[in-house]
Amino acid sequence: MADKVLIIGSGLGGLECGYILAKNGFDVTVLEQSSQCGGCMQSFFRKGQEFDSGFHYVGGLDEGQSLYPFFKYFGLLDLPWHRMDPDCFDEVSFAGGQSGIVESFPLACGYDRFAESLSGFFPDEKADLKAYSAFLKKLGDNTFKSANSFGPDDLFGVSAYDFICKSFRNPLLRKVISGTSIKMELDAETLPLYVFAQINNSFIQSSWRLRGCGSLITDKLVKAIREMGGKVLCNAKVIGIGGENGSAEFLKVSFGGDPVCEETLKADWVISDIHPESTMELLGGDLRVRKIYRERIYGLKNTFGIFTVNVSLKKGRIPYLNRNIYIHKADADLWHPETSHTESVMVSFYVPEERYDGVISDRGLNIPATHLDILSPMSWDDVSDWGNCPEGHRGEEYENIKKKKALECIDLASERLPGLKDAIEDYWTSSPLTYKSRTGSPSGSAYGIRKDWHNPMMTLLSSRTPVSNLLLTGQSLNLHGLLGVSMTSVITCREILKKF
């Protein structure tokens, strides 16, 4: 009889682990507490338009690139991927300077093209840009060769901020290179070079949107797991992990419904795709891990949250742009973000769904945009007073905070897109509180546990835990994003597969 594997959480990491193990003959059950799978990959509808909770674009999907082998294995390459403009997949803009003119800089795909494009704006930095591109290429070529001396262990112990400062003399170029900051938490004191470089590298390799939302990814994984004989159960909240002799033998699960019922599910292996802190809170019986381990988990800091404005546009008012636009106030310090004020936003367009003929151009579809997202960093402290209030019952003051933040985001985005305000049909907002309710991430953290280059051994978690058959997976372990989570899911499953 196949070993039973219970997986807590149906985020990307949990579903990928479920896929790997089901494909290898294990009896897999994925347990999701909410009514929809996907974690931060969930999507939702507002007035007939579908919006993403956290997914916006991916990098490295061409053959030979970072994400390609993972998505090929998981059968995700045949989704309706749409290549973003290779001459400008990301645009970094600065608004509100002395001249009052918005300065914009295109980031191009391909190592040589990336360096050449920015060299047109910074000719004196051409050699440094080529050196930076060569560094990223070397990192990308060695992503999976952990035994190599250029491996991730070295770069996890190096400051990303110091590296950028040493690599580029021009302060403006430093800001441009760092300008796609909302893909991660730029923290000058803690961010390891590995995180900064690995994430930026994958998007420079190639960048892609979905013609649709991120739920297409999770829906396909769910379907595949079920076709291989596994189970994916929604409205199934794990309320305890129990067992004896240091082994997780069962999960206590509360199944939603009328009436709510509780069941005990036996397991040979348990994988937790929820935050490590939340995992510790589930341990019961004699599964009392050593105090030093618990204190380590509870002592780790989380990255900041994200505020999102989901915008529905009036028809024909704003053209679709096949790029993301990052807009910063001219005096914003990207490496010391002040999240209580809106100094930076990211504007991400959804690929229009209307029918079109001919070849899609790299720059766009030459048709109007229908909806877009505006994202900005937001501190948990701004909304923590309502942390224990259920969604929809947080009161007028909370709604006013969100409205103020939304208008700040729209104002800043309008510096680069001057027709935006008049083009808005309607908008909806979400805060770190919303993110916490959808993903269970403490403090509504967007990128999980904050990694610290000063002490990588403390902030980088192993998939193994003191409980012999309880494993961790997800963005808090190694690297966040689709690439990081996919890498981690393989590492987690190896702990089971190598024993067979």
What burial letters (b/e) apply to 77-111, b meaning 16+ CB within 10 Å? eebebbbbbbbbbbbbbbbbeeeeebebbbbbbbb
Tokens representing 225 are 């797991």
- pLDDT range class, residue 336, cuts 50, 70, 90: confident
Question: Do residues 16 and 74 make contact, with C-beta atoms less than 8 angstroms apart?
Answer: yes
Nearest to 489 by CA among 70, 170, 57, 24: 70
Give the total residue count for the chain. Answer: 500
pTM greater than the 0.85 cutoff: yes
Q: Does residue 362 surpass a pLDDT of 70?
A: no
Please state which of the ranges 263-267, 285-289, 352-356, 399-403 shows the lowest mean pLDDT. 352-356
Average pLDDT over every residue of 152-171: 90
Residue 358 has pLDDT above 90, yes or no: no
- Asked if the model's pLDDT at residue 407 lies above 70, the reply is yes
pLDDT at 473 over 90: yes
Q: Which residues, listed in sequence order, are joined to residue 83 by a DSSP beta bridge? A: 208
- CATH number for the segment(s) 81-212+305-378+384-430: 3.90.660
The C-alpha atoms of residue 69 and residue 242 are separated, in whole angstroms, by 36
CB–CB of 109/238 below 8 Å?
Answer: no
pLDDT at 354: 64
Angle at 207 between CA 206 and CA 212, to 5 degrees: 145
189-245 confidence digits (pLDDT tens): 999 999 999 999 999 999 999 999 999 999 999 999 999 999 999 999 999 999 988
Going from N- to C-terminal start, the domains of the chain cover 4-43+213-301+450-497, 81-212+305-378+384-430
- Averaged pLDDT score across all residues of the chain: 90
CA 300 to each of CA 158, 297, 347: distance values in angstroms, whole numbers, following the listed order: 19, 6, 31
Looking at domain 4-43+213-301+450-497, its CATH class is alpha beta
The pair of three-digit structure tokens given for residue 441, joined into one six-digit string: 């991430």
Indicate the pLDDT class of residue 142, thresholds 50, 70 and 90. Answer: confident
Q: Mean pLDDT throughout 282-301?
A: 86
Residue 185 scores a pLDDT above 70: yes
- Neighbouring residues of 401: CB distance < 8 A, sequence distance ≥ 6: 382, 383, 431
Whether residue 357 is predicted with pLDDT greater than 50 in this model: the reply is no
What local confidence, expressed as pLDDT, does residue 104 receive? 95
